[in-house]
Amino acid sequence: MGTFIPGLVHTPVTPFQGDQRIDYDTYAKILEWHIKNGAEALALPMPEGEDMSLTEAEQRELLQFALTRVNGRVPVIAHVSDAGTAMTVERAKFAEQAGAAAIASHPPYFWHPRPAMVVEHLLQVGRAIRLPLFVVNPPVETAGTSLTTEMVLELVEKLPNLAGVVDYSLDFVFMEEVMCLGQKIKPDFQLLAGGDFPVSSGTLGGTGVFSTLSSVAPRLARRLFELSRQGKYNEARDPQEKMGELNHFVRSVGESGLRDGLAGLKTAMAFMGRPCGAPRPPVRALGEVERGKLTDALARMDFLAEEPRAW
């Protein structure tokens, strides 16, 4: 079996109806839209898919629905993370049995166990499955323990199915160290950019990106990724700056700053003609003033005129 290289991974949102139930009719549209608009793989439900707001039954139902709907047209990476090891292991086993192509997993949610405990947690998840495992280094504002180079190298040495790291930290030294030292142990070890900033990881040999903003601007995400994949970093500067502008306004429009990113993302999708409901509590929807500020900012982004509208 060859190395699984995910490439440009879209991370779909989860749509909700007014009564907070999952809107599967809209979710089917979302999945089709991502496949039609350049996704080489899908990862779900990631934090932007509001995985922490889904019950255990909903997580399984959502994954099964996605796998059935996608029907092998692109690989589906199942995101399985929780506060406890046993819960995460059971989710990983279910995802493997359901037909996922790979697993992505964060350090334990909501608390800050010591590094050795995080390593043991991820080892147990990886050893419970045969699928490729991508461990996720979370952004600094999320709950949980960030990965260190030493933690990743221990996982590389002990987990034959560890495929790589999805890094949201944008810590250049961390990325450089894990690639240099990790590939000495495992030559096909991969680095994927979390979020939509693949240039830095690309210069270090990164092979992919988990793209949130592909839900808004898939053509920009594709152009940026292709230029990075081809090593054309000077040419990638312009689309990376545009992506940075979009990222800033989507994630920081609300009074709570980055914590409003989910509401901003769904508001931006509605602006592009793809409404998918409000986030689930405790995440709040944008107020009228905030929504107006964001839509005004989006209207000034000329590059969005090149992006697909509606479904």
pLDDT at 167: 96
Would you say residue 138 lies in a domain?
A: yes
Mean pLDDT per 10-residue run, the chain (311 residues)? 89 96 98 98 96 96 98 98 96 98 94 92 98 91 79 98 96 96 97 94 95 98 97 96 96 54 94 96 91 95 97 95
Alpha-carbon gap, residue 235 to 148, rounded angstroms: 31
Short-list 81, 76, 180, CA closest to 122? 81
Predicted local distance difference test score (pLDDT) of residue 131: 98
Quickly tell me which residue has 């808004």 as its tokens: 216
pLDDT at 139: 79
Residue 258: per-residue pLDDT: 38
* Residue 205 covered by a domain: yes
Q: How far apart are CA 112 and CA 190, in angstroms?
A: 26
On whether residue 102 sits in a domain, the answer given is yes
DSSP conformational letter for 16: B
310: in domain:
no
Q: Which residues pair with 208 in a beta bridge?
A: 192
Is 187 a domain residue?
yes
Which pLDDT belongs to residue 111? 84
Among 272, 300, 278, smallest CA distance to 37 is for 272
Our count of domains for the chain comes to 1
- Asked if residue 275 is part of any domain, the answer here is no
In single-letter form, the type of residue at position 268 comes to: A
Residue-level pLDDT at 110: 83
pLDDT at position 259 is 44
- Give the phi and the psi of residue 93 in degrees, each rounded to 5: -60, -45
Q: Is residue 193 part of a domain?
A: yes
C-alpha 25/C-alpha 113 separation (Å) is: 39
CATH of the domain at 144: 3.20.20.70
Examine residue 54 and state whether it is found in any structural domain, yes or no.
yes
Token digits for 117? 């405990």
pTM of the entire structure? Answer: 0.95
- The boundaries of the domain holding residue 132 are 8-227
